[in-house]
Structure 1
């Protein structure tokens, strides 16, 4: 006789009705990471006079894509990442295609290594994000040098990397809380 080991449900067969309001709530909770990035990009694209606005926009976008692609891939799919990158390209003034490419690389690496990232310490994930942000910032610098046909200073790219590394612990703490509460579609 073969027995199947399935996880028993707490209350089998009992679930809320799939009303329109509940489905909309689930969709909004699933879209919350993408909406966070888009709203922050729109706010940071305005002329607020803050030093490093473009770098902060890059840092928020890459940190958000990295976290949600690793911890809840259903909330940050490749299509959503592409749309976020496209919106960022339309709002930003950097070299064309760099933000979109950077976000897709972040998504690909985090999505590919999501099982390993969920089992390792935060410091290793932070180091991986730092290494990726270094490579992608230098890629953006190289594309800017090629586009202008001059050798530009790499300091803005290194500042962008530093802002990305510095912002990620705060983003990670905020998103860890949100993953359990407001951005959890199962809570709808």
Structure 2
């Protein structure tokens, strides 16, 4: 008598058939957060003359990585964070490597604390994110000062931190809706 080692699917009669089109749809839905970062980085690199445009690039990338790293880590793996960081670096005018390193640190914190963060309320998560945004902006300001070999005004760094903290609620609302609809690979 031969025993079968595989476990049966719980809902095998309800699951749709895995086709190439469905696999492509699932992949596209899982890649939505990364595509959003890349689209915003390219769009905000255009010379529109909007005040805070460069700082908004960093803020959107940071909010996106933070949310998806703790809410759905499969949609934001470390390799995607690295590639998104490279894209944002290419289209930004900050010190080289600062945004990439900041995004990787934000990803590491969010991914490592994802179980605790998912249990916290919105305000506590926003407070933790705010502290990290201020630290990342101070890090970038310090790198710019080192690169310029001068002590520059910290106002642009503080503006970047304030802008990043300020756009957090609206982006999180968009991402919560997106997690249930267009960015949900299970809906494919």
- TM-score band by shorter chain is over 0.9
Distance 1:180 1:113 in 2: 22
Q: CA RMSD in A?
A: 1.0
Is 1:149 the counterpart of 2:153? The answer is no
1:12 CA displacement: 4.2
In 1, the alpha carbon distance for the partners of 2:56 and 2:88 equals 12
Q: Which runs of 5+ in 2 are unaligned?
A: 1-8
Give 1:22-37 correspondences, 5 Å limit: 22-37=22-37
Tell me the residue number matched to 1:137: 137
> 2:59 maps to what in 1?
59
Task: Note the alpha carbon deviations across 1:118-162, whole angstroms, 9 max, x for none.
Answer: 001010110011000111100000010000000000000000000
Q: How far apart are the structure 1 equivalents of 2:111 and 2:15?
A: 30
Distance in 2, matches of 1:21 and 1:87, equals: 28
- For 2:82 and 2:12, the matched residues in 1 are separated by 38
Matches within 5 A, 1:59-78: 59-78=59-78
The 1-side partners of 2:119 and 2:58 are apart by: 27
Runs of 5+ unmatched residues, structure 1: 1-7
Q: Normalising by the residue count of structure 2, what TM-score does the alignment of the two structures yield?
A: 0.94
In the alignment, the residues of structure 1 paired with residue 90 and residue 71 of structure 2 have an alpha-carbon distance, to the nearest angstrom, of 28
Residue 182 of structure 1 corresponds to 182
Residues paired across the two proteins, number:
180
Q: Whole-Å Cα distance in 1 between the matches of residues 87 and 33 of structure 2?
A: 14
Question: TM-score, normalized by length of structure 1?
Answer: 0.94
